[in-house]
Structure 1
Amino acid sequence: MTHPVKGIDHCFALVDDLDAAAAQYAALGFTLSPRGMHSASKGTANYTIMFPEDYFELLGVLVPTELNANRREMLARMGQGLHAVACRIDDAEAAATALGALGIATQGLGSFSRPVPLPDGSEGIAAFSTVAFTPDETPRGMVFMCQHKTRDTVWLPELLGHANTACGLGAVLTVSDAPAADAAAFARLWAAGEVLGTDAGFTVITGPDSAPLLVMAPEAMAALYPGIDLAETPTGAFTALRIEVSDITAAAACLDAAGIAAVTTATGLAVPPAHAAGVIVEFVPA
């Protein structure tokens, strides 16, 4: 049976204080959506940061409920930061069936929707179906699949422009004590999954026009981001997010205006996790 997972659709940071995190990302030069409210039973809300082909999400718990107990436990045990990667699929139910036939386990198939404020003052609905890989299939963090049923209410044109000139996800990075084995395990999750060895670790190709996943040992990650405390990122999840920008000078100007001292890296400018809700955000030229 054909592998149904086409690449990375988006990723999300699970954060302690949703509005404080949104203020941090606005200071970095991002345009954020209005706050999206989930159902009362979920007790959560989000902000999205949209790019032409993918996006990044800030997710927070507003009211403790039975359905968000797992999210609250993750925050308490692992800390806030980049917890999840969402994959591109056409149909969640069909994907679960196809993956099962390939010997890849999934769980939590379901659908949900949330209201979306539209530019004309009206309200639309964003609807999704999702299914997750089981923890045994994902060596770090959470990886799930997302079927978009209402793309026109998620990719709103007025959300695509950013003062920092961000235009897409560049890479997701994670620390691992067994990078070769973890990279191989991650590669199974994508149809085009392939592991390439590098001097710094391993790159997992996730698909065409899709951000790769970089898996590396702690010392390699520390060398990549000198002076940044990796302990301020979530334990056992993802460490850094590269964001492609069309003008790195504009991104630097946003950081200067916010009084944020970025770390110059081999590939761009990195924002320490204290300024980005537990995520190392690295701006890199597109």
Structure 2
Amino acid sequence: MGTIGGIDHTVVMAESLEEATLTAHRLGFRTTPPAAHPFGTANVLVQLQGGYLEFLAILDESLFPEETPDRFSFPSFNRDFLIGEGAGLSLVALKTDDPEALRERLAADGLTRGPTFSFERTALSPEGRELPVAFTLVFATHPELVRAGVFALVHRHPPENFWHAAYQAHPNTARAMRGITLVSPHIERTAEIFASITGIAPSKTAGRVEITLPDGSTLDIVDAATFERRFGSNAFSDKVLARFAAMTIEVDSLETAASTLTASGVPFETWEGAIVVAPEHAGGVGYRFISAD
């Protein structure tokens, strides 16, 4: 059917994997070993329950597939994002049950170009075993999303090849991805685009629009003033295009998460019962930690 089921993962573009890994560890996350893509980028992951954070860096630009009017290039998008914006949250990946059917729906609305894209790579288990993993993706495109990429994918491998409980044991007790915050100078217009991509109607309140996905996670679209109130940062106040700005992560213990941040020297504030880390202190991405209770 090509429906959207929730948030699969986020893509955080970094200057280097070493820098990204350091940032993730300072925030209290455990990372997977580095893995290389066949198209010139490499990543380390922070696995959560049912989703993950992908920290990405350029490995070999000569391997980048060429971007054309009828083909989206994942590595080129991230390179251009890094040049134009610096390190930060470049793309959000959504779950779909049928990338081909979703591509047809998006194409009918003028929200994608080109075919679906499939690739394979090798992942390392916690025991050091090399395991094959494979994915099929469909990219959404829109003139207003050149700094906030969106794609949907399906995992085409046995779950045990990718997901490992040992990688999900984090010092900060992180459990699950609960939401993404996107800052836009035109929140209602941006919300209409995401409603078309997801097929889900948004709910609107003053200064923000929210789309609740089937798995309960949310896409929270806010203006820069609302983001500054929540995260104590004006990092997105001068943006003329929509930008993914922050993630909401559920943790088992807010006290442990706070202790981990304190031990790492990461500044944070509390806001409405959540722990908030501003983008300036976390590789260009804001983090909001909420209790699982």
TM-score (norm 2): 0.87
1:163 aligns with 2:168: no
Deviation at 1:230, TM superposition (A): 1.5
1:143 aligns with 2:142: no
Asked whether the 8 Å contact 2:103–2:115 carries over to 1, the reply is no
Which stretches in structure 2 are left out of the alignment for 5+ residues?
A: 65-74
Indicate the SS of the match to 2:189.
Answer: helix
1:131 aligns with 2:130: no
State how 1:223-262 maps to structure 2 within 5 Å: 223-226=229-232, 228-231=233-236, 236-262=242-268
State how 1:26-175 maps to structure 2 within 5 Å: 26-39=25-38, 42-65=39-62, 67=64, 68-101=75-108, 104-107=111-114, 109-136=116-143, 138=145, 141-150=148-157, 151-175=159-183
Q: Distance in 2 between matches of 1:280 and 1:7?
A: 20
Q: Which residue of 1 aligns with 2:278?
A: 272
Deviation at 1:264, TM superposition (A): 1.8
Which stretches in structure 1 are left out of the alignment for 5+ residues?
A: none
CA separation of 1:194 and 1:77: change in aligned 2, threshold 3 A: same
Runs of 4+ in 1 over 6 A off after TM superposition: 232-235
Q: Distance in 1 between matches of 2:77 and 2:177?
A: 27
Asked whether the 8 Å contact 1:3–1:102 carries over to 2, the reply is no
Q: Distance in 1 between matches of 2:231 and 2:129?
A: 44
CA RMSD of aligned residues (A): 2.3
Asked whether the 8 Å contact 2:275–2:289 carries over to 1, the reply is yes
Asked whether the 8 Å contact 1:233–1:280 carries over to 2, the reply is no
Deviation at 1:32, TM superposition (A): 0.8
Deviation at 1:203, TM superposition (A): 0.8
CA separation of 1:268 and 1:5: change in aligned 2, threshold 3 A: same
Indicate the SS of the match to 2:181.
Answer: strand
Indicate the SS of the match to 2:62.
Answer: coil
1:215 aligns with 2:221: yes
Aligned identity (percent) is: 29
Q: Distance in 1 between matches of 2:216 and 2:56?
A: 22
Deviation at 1:267, TM superposition (A): 4.1
